Amino acid sequence: MSSKISFQETEDAYLFSSAEDEPKVFAIKKDDLIFDAGKFYECFFKDLEEKPEYQLVSESETLAGQAKHIFTTVETILNDTCNGISGNWFKDVMSQDGASGALGAEKDDSQLQPA
| Cβ proximity of 35 and 78 under 8 Å | no
Residues 2, 74, 26, 85, Cα dihedral to 10°: 50
Which residues, 6+ apart, have CB-to-CB distance to 87 below 8 Å? 50, 51
| Cβ proximity of 7 and 71 under 8 Å | yes
> What pLDDT was estimated at residue 92?
59
pLDDT digits (tens, 9 = 90+) for 42-63: 999 988 888 889 999 998 888 9
Amino acid at 76: T
**What are the residue boundaries of the structural domains of the chain, listed by start?**
2-91
Banded model confidence at residue 22, pLDDT cuts 50, 70, 90: confident
Residue of higher predicted confidence among 67 and 1 = 67
The answer to whether residue 107 scores a pLDDT higher than 50 is no
Query: Containing H/E element for 70?
Result: helix 65-84
Amino acid at 96: Q
Gap between the Cα atoms of 20 and 48, Å rounded: 13
Which residues, 6+ apart, have CB-to-CB distance to 63 below 8 Å? 71
pLDDT digits (tens, 9 = 90+) for 56-83: 999 888 899 999 999 999 999 999 999 9
Tell me what the mean pLDDT of segment 22-36 comes to: 93
